[in-house]
Amino acid sequence: MLNLHDLSSEFEDRKSAIINYERETSGELAWYRKALPNLDCADASLNSTLPQYSGAKLFESGVAIRRFHPATSWKNREDAISWVDGVLSGVTVGSADGSQIYPDKNYGLPIAAVQVGSVYNRHTTDREYAQETSASLITPDEFADAGVYAYGKEFVDARRFALECDALIDLMHAFDRIYLLLDGTLVPSHINALRKNIKEIYLDAMMKLLDASNETGNPIIGYVDVSVQRDVVTMMRHIYRLKETKQLFDPVLFADELNWGDRTKAFICNRDDRRGADSPSVLDTYIRYRDSIAFFYMRMGDLPSRIEFPVWAADDADEIDRIADIVRAETILRGSYPDILMLAHRNAVVTTKEHEVFYRMLSRFCREHGIVTHTGAKQGYKARESGSSSRIRVYPS
């Protein structure tokens, strides 16, 4: 049970640190917002003046804030849906997502399961819509060959990401034109903190995904609902010689400048996420695609979301606006989150009850093949608490 009394005391004792953080952030925010209008006349000619790791580079010229004018004339949801129909009619949109069952040491056998669901909607009068789900195992030998702790999560997460990318690639090759949404970033900075062989799984999957997008011309759109990056903030610090900040994030910088549906101009990601001066950034490892991931921020909820895409997928302002409109339309359908992403998630998710079914399958498989497994005492206790102890044998350790 959560100790609310201690936490209440902690909030009171530490209020000065929390208040000071907010005040410092507010002060930095004021300086950066004051410089925002300067971005209206900033263009790619400034990129040559930026350092190697500048956070971002200029990509799209013109004003920094792009207003979404159609919303001003909507009187009700029917008006919004009518606009959505105009945007999505005949346009194929797809996505893929994954879920997993991690190995449980209480069962004594390092086996994981990964499920990936893909979905597409052609938005035709025939309601041409389809979804597919596939599941696969990760067996003990694969954990051993990877040299990873079998009951950790990192290897399973990496394999899940690779399978999600494979599903997206399959969709790219299935259609002449499809807009694909990935629930996450095209520049996963967190992988620089992972061990080399796991990091390579992510990089290999991402390179295959970008290669497929480049070859087919089909856009892969990374959707980051809540971003904590400061790429534009860092770029502005270099261009306008502002005070360095470790607390101000891009979405906070733009939040009060954007109404629903408004977006920023597009930038090129040039992030410094190195782990030491001698190590490469994630983008450095992209080699041929190092300067190829563009992004903008667009307000769909309380804070602007980050929308990423390869530069070849939007080589002019009209196509960037097209990507923005598709994301807006998908979000209107769901209310605050892209509908196609939610459909893919629901298609892939593994419920708690299905976790239990999986382990019953595993137990039955082991019995049928004479494989000895040992269930931990804690798992046996939890089973008795849930009234299912008759299905689990508890062995002394």
Nearest Cα neighbor of 189 from 222, 220, 159 is 222
d(CA 237, CA 229): 14
With 0-12 / 13-18 / 19 or more C-beta atoms within 10 angstroms meaning exposed / middle / buried, residue 30 is exposed
Q: Which of 102, 103, 108, 110 is nearest to 373 (CA)?
A: 108
End-to-end Cα distance, the chain: 28
Structure tokens at 255: 């939040």
CA atoms within 13 A on the CB side of 137: 10
Residue 397 has a pLDDT of 36
Q: What is the pLDDT of residue 336?
A: 81
Spatial contact of 297 and 254, defined as CB atoms under 8 Å apart: yes
DSSP annotation of 310 reads E
Residues of the chain under the 70 pLDDT cut: 19-24, 374-397
Report the distance separating Cα 294 and Cα 56, nearest Å: 9
Token pair for residue 301? 């909820």
DSSP letter string over 350-393?
A: --HHHHHHHHHHHHHHHHHTT------HHHHHHHHHTT-GGG--
CB 370 within 8 A of CB 361: no
How crowded is residue 202: how many other Cβ atoms within 10 Å of its Cβ? 21
**pTM for the whole thing?**
0.89
The pLDDT tens digits of the residues spanning 330-367 come to 999 888 899 999 999 999 999 999 999 999 999 899 88
**What are the C-alpha distances in Å from 74 to residues 69, 228, 256, 264, 300?**
10, 32, 22, 22, 16
Q: What was the pLDDT predicted at 388?
A: 45
Q: What is the pLDDT of residue 389?
A: 38
Helix (H), strand (E), coil (C) string for 182-232: EECCCCCHHHHHCCHHHHHHHHHHHHHHHHHHHHHCCCEEEEECCCCCCHH
How many C-beta atoms lie closer than 10 Å to residue 334's C-beta? 14
- In the prediction, which pLDDT does 386 show? 54
The per-residue DSSP string of 135-191 comes to: EEEE-HHHHHHHT--TT-SHHHHHHHHHHHHHHHHHHHHH-SS-EEEEES-SS-GGG
- Which neighbouring-strand residues pair with 133? 117
Q: Give residue 305's region: left, alpha or beta (phi > 0; psi -120 to 50).
A: beta
Distances in whole angstroms, Cα of residue 252 to Cα of each of 255, 258, 319, 341: 5, 11, 26, 24
